[in-house]
Every structure is written in C-alpha cells, then in structure tokens.
Amino acid sequence: MKSTVIFLFICYSFTISAELYNGKIISKGNQTPVEYANIGIPNKNTGTTSDAAGNYSINLPDEFNNDTLRISSIGFETRNIIIRDFINLKSNNIELSEKIYNLSETVIIPKLFKEMVLGVKTKSKSIQAGFNEHILGKEMGVILAIRKSAKLKKINLNIATCNFDTIFYRINVYEVRNLWKKDFVNVLKTPLYINIPKDKVKSTVTIDIENSDIWVNGNCLVTIEYVRDLGKGQLHFCAGIGNSTYHRETSQGKWSSVPIGIGLNVIADVEY
C-alpha cells in the first residue's frame, strides 16, 4: 500500500523587514547557560530555542516592535520583554530566575490505579506525519484522556521513517486547562530529552520516565519538541485518522490541531 506522508507545517510567502539579534540565555543565580530555552513572540510563530551553550539567534520583524518577547525554560520563571525595550538593551543576554517550588503537605488517600496505554497506538505506515523542516521550537503531540489522576511511566513513539543521524528532542507534558482555547501549561519541573543514535532507532522507541515521578490530574498533552539543529534529515511517525495532533510551528507559537494522530502513546498508572 502506498504511504501518505503528511507534513505539519504551513508555508507563507511574503517579504518583511526583520533584524537578526544574537544573545545568550543565562541563569540569574549562577550565570550558567540555560540550554534549549524557548524564545519567541506568543501566538505569532516567530521564535527559536537557545543551543546547549545558551546562545540564540532570532529574527524580529519591525511590525512586532510593540509585541512581547517571551523567554521560558523548564525550571525557570518565564520572562516577558516588550520587543522595543529588548531592542534598546545594551546587551541581548537575558537572565532567567530559577523557579522555587513550594512543597505542600502530603495527605495520603488510598486510591485504585490500573496500568493503561493512553494516546495513539497505531503502527501503520500508510499515513505518516512528523518533522520534515528544521524549525527550532517546533513541537507536536497528542492529548491523553484522563478523568482523574495518573502517573506517567513510559512514552512510546511509533516511528515510520527516520534518517537523522541522531534523534534529539525534548519531551513536554502540558496540563490541559482549556482544550477549545488550546490553553496548555507545562507541568514538568526538570526537562526530559530523547537522545538516540540512528542505528539504535527501532520501529517503536520507548522512553522510560517512571523515575521522573510525573503526575497529572485530568487530560494532558504530551509532545516532542525539536530543540537542537540535527542537520539534514526527517523524522516521521506512524499516524492514523480518528485522533488529533496538536502542534505549533516554533517556540511560543500558536497551537493548532489536525485530524491526524501521530503514533505517540503513554503507559500510565491511571486512577479509576
């Protein structure tokens, strides 16, 4: 059967005036680089990520001078800067403050849990969807339908084709606050990465996250995000009709959905 490959991207054809800005994202506390931080204009699909050394480059069109530049990273407080103020800064190095998590009192209530597989389980390669263009901050994922609470233990990615030399992506887990408004909030306290050489990539890649102790309450969105320039290559997932993939084109960009679900599922202990 001939495969249908679906690329989740939108092409725009127009010319705008833009200035390239280079800088570094660093921790305010110890001045160390913040790797793979997200930098972009919320909902405008203009963004990027910093590299492993915290360095970034971003094109900012003149038309967005009155908009906000948002810088975020797991484990740090999000920072918002009006772009016209950012342009006038003496240095484009941006400091982020580490986030302080308050430990609330734990009340143990006996609950019943059952191991379940949530998400899109398809392994069919007749429909494929995934990463074809190299846009830092691009991410895509699927909603996990959870009524109560659940502990996420393993993430399975059903791969259709991969010709990158290395798979390096970030895993994100978002609380779904409002599905219709696509209001998603990252619940992770520390970042999760996939780093696998091509010769180790199988038809199903499993990432064990049980020791990360990730608990969610209600529906959540699990995504993978392109945060490092991997050079030439493509990564396509098995995909199927009947589910949806939620995606955004770059850091801080606008969330959209398509009625094709990529083969991403999660093994979880689910409360019932």
Domain boundaries, the chain: 18-96, 113-271
Q: What is the DSSP letter of 220?
A: E
The reported pLDDT for the residue numbered 77 is 97
Amino acid identity of 248? R
Q: What is the DSSP letter of 180?
A: T
Sign of the CA dihedral with 195 first, then 221, 181, and 13 last:
positive
Hey, what CATH class is 113-271 in? mainly beta
Residue 112 CB coordination number (10 Å): 8
From CA 56, how far away is CA 54, in angstroms rounded?
7
Q: How far is the CA of 6 from the CAs of 75, 86, 261, in angstroms?
A: 34, 37, 11
Show the CA angle centred on residue 62, arms to residues 51 and 87, nearest 5°.
60
User: Is residue 149 within 8 Å of 217, Cβ to Cβ?
Assistant: yes
From CA 80, how far away is CA 24, in angstroms rounded?
15
The reported pLDDT for the residue numbered 107 is 55
The reported pLDDT for the residue numbered 2 is 53
CATH number for 18-96 (one of 3.30.420.40, 2.60.40.1120, 2.60.120.10, 3.40.50.300): it is 2.60.40.1120
The reported pLDDT for the residue numbered 9 is 42
Give the model confidence (pLDDT) of 23-80 as tens digits: 999 999 899 999 999 999 999 989 999 999 999 999 998 999 999 999 999 999 999 9
The reported pLDDT for the residue numbered 12 is 38
Q: Which residues of the chain have pLDDT under 70?
A: 1-17, 103-109
Give the model confidence (pLDDT) of 88-109 as tens digits: 987 889 999 999 877 655 555 6
